[in-house]
Amino acid sequence: MAESKKVIGMDEWKRKLQAVNVRKEDMNKLVMNFLVTEGFADAAEKFRLESGTNPDIELTTVTDRMVVKKAVQNGHVVDAIKIVHNLNPEILKENPKALFSLLQQLFIELIRAGKTEEALMFAQEKLGPLAEENRFLVEFERTFSLLILHNVANSSVSDLLKMSQRNKTANNVNEAMLISQANEKETKLSSLLKMLAWVDKELEKEVAYPKMKDFSTCKLEDPAAI
């Protein structure tokens, strides 16, 4: 018969948490990283002045990323591509996923504008070859069906014409620019939360302890009540 888990009560667990020393400097760096990565350039500058915490990259690059993101969200894909290319031509060369996302979005915007002949030519000359070279054929075929469906609104590809698709493209490009600028694609806070979730899962195999099921409230649940 398997041994029961060790139980750590609420009082003991809180004492353990209070014993952990987190430096203010580390917390400030975590906040700054979040502001920079998520594109809050003005807030990052104010936080730099108030806390004395310097960002790892120039704040002007944050503004550049947000300009590109806004252009994509507004459907101005050609402008977005030009801006990224002018900033660093290697960004899209080194990230075929971001390049395909932009060209895919450009194709979608041509369809949206009713430029079907131009869209067909673009798919044949640009989007199709890139998809084949980088194994994006499934997504290409799905996108190409916009040209042949008579009732896109009620089809399985209707999401391609929604704002969520523009946001998806903008996020893919933002990620590529982040990797180029700071060698990371998400906030350190996101990485820490993923690590915390993994540690929590592993620890739960051995110990019953107050769990934090909702990170947004930070409320602990007593193991005796679970």
> What are the φ/ψ torsions at residue 170 (nearest 5 degrees)?
-60, -40
> What are the φ/ψ torsions at residue 204 (nearest 5 degrees)?
-65, -20
Reported as a single tens digit per residue, the pLDDT across 158-168 is: 999 999 999 99
In one-letter notation, the amino acid at residue 52 is: G
pLDDT at 178: 87
Determine if residue 6 is left, alpha or beta; phi over 0 gives left, psi from -120 to 50 gives alpha, anything else beta.
beta
* Exposed/middle/buried for residue 102 (C-beta within 10 Å: 0-12, 13-18, 19+): buried
Alpha carbon distance 108, 127 (integer Å): 11
Segments of the chain scoring below 50 in pLDDT: 1-2
Length of the chain: 226
Indicate the domain borders of the chain.
57-186
The CA–CA distances, whole Å, from 121 to 99, 144, 153, 187 equal: 18, 11, 23, 39
pLDDT at 187: 82
Q: 36 near 44, Cβ under 8 Å?
A: yes
Place of tokens 């029961």: 4
Computed on alpha carbons and rounded to an integer, the radius of gyration of the chain in Å comes to 23
pLDDT at 1: 34
pLDDT at 223: 75
